Amino acid sequence: MKIRALIADDESLARERVRELLADESDIELIAECADGREAVQAIQHHNPDLLFLDIEMPELDGFQVLKSVPTEHMPAVIFITAYDRYAIKAFEEHALDYLLKPFDKARFANAVSRARTRLEHENNGTLSSKVVALLQQVDAQPKLIDRLAIKSRGRVVFLRTDEIEWIEAAGNYVEVHAGKDCHLIRDTLNSFEEKLDSRKFMRIHRSCMVNLEFIKELQPGLAGEYVVVMRDGRQLTLSRGYRDKVQQLIGGTI
């Protein structure tokens, strides 16, 4: 019996990659491809697939929003596809759900498909659905990321896109948000900002400082195992030893 599969990913190359690898899986039939979340919802409702390859970040609706629209009784087995998400990978593993981290190779793909095939053979639809529902509940409990700030200053409100932020520094009960020549003082904590900002773009480099990775020019060795983070404008910030592991994970090597 054929496993009917559907691909939902807004990147054409990613869809092509999955399609090519599925050609080696003789028991899987590709029934549809979708380029955004709304298309995916319609295709799932129309085709009722057994297996869904689902990208997390898509226009219109993201992968989690797509799944929220699927009735639990029609929930397919899901293999999530993601470039990186601050909590998703850990959540997938906690709920025993399969995922592919871009870029993935043939062996990793075959392994994920094999596990999905086994689950379809031995687990009923209710079990599969309960895992996805538990994941969605965990996702809903996560803090929502922000893409802009509304800063009250001297009787006016300044709107600042987070992409414009270069670095943020703790200052007592406040944080100093640096963007170009401007410095905004906001009553908040650095921990709060770390939870609200996209970790693919912002990284804590010190207990009192975090930076936008797009504005880092280079890293230079400092004293006692610390590093100097040189920003594009020439400002030098300290990368303390306690935060080196995060940077090493980012660059895929040791410093």
Tokens 């793909």, located at residue = 109
The domains located in the chain, with CATH, are: 3-141 (3.40.50.2300), 148-251 (2.40.50.1020)
Q: Partners of 137 in the beta sheet?
A: none
pTM beyond 0.75: the answer is: no
Reference 184, options 218, 157, 210; nearest CA is 157
d(CA 133, CA 131): 5
d(CA 78, CA 120): 10
Q: Write the single-letter amino acid at 70.
A: V
What is the per-residue pLDDT for 38?
Answer: 93
Residue 186: enclosing H or E segment and its boundaries? strand 182-186
Cβ atoms 41, 91 nearer than 8 A: no
Q: What is the pLDDT along the chain (255 residues), one digit of tens a residue?
A: 799 999 999 999 999 999 999 999 999 999 999 999 999 999 999 999 999 999 988 877 888 899 988 888 888 999 999 876 655 677 777 666 888 888 889 999 999 999 899 888 877 666 667 888 777 777 666 666 788 888 887 778 889 999 999 999 999 989 999 999 999 999 889 988 988 898 878 999 999 999 999 999 999 988 877 889 999 999 999 999 888 777 666 665 566
What is the per-residue pLDDT for 141?
Answer: 63
- The radius of gyration of the chain from alpha carbons, rounded to an integer in Å, stands at 22
What is the per-residue pLDDT for 155?
Answer: 74
d(CA 116, CA 127): 13
How large is the greatest C-alpha to C-alpha distance in the chain, in angstroms?
69
d(CA 210, CA 252): 20
Q: How many other CB atoms sit within 10 Å of the CB of residue 47?
A: 15
d(CA 123, CA 75): 13
Joined tokens for residue 112: 């994920």
Q: Give the E-state strand segments of 43-123 in sequence order.
A: 51-55, 77-82, 98-101
Q: How many other CB atoms sit within 10 Å of the CB of residue 99?
A: 20
Cβ atoms 7, 34 nearer than 8 A: yes
Joined tokens for residue 172: 């007592």
Tokens 């009735």, located at residue = 71
Cβ atoms 97, 104 nearer than 8 A: no
Residue 16: enclosing H or E segment and its boundaries? helix 12-22
What is the per-residue pLDDT for 16?
Answer: 95
d(CA 143, CA 21): 35
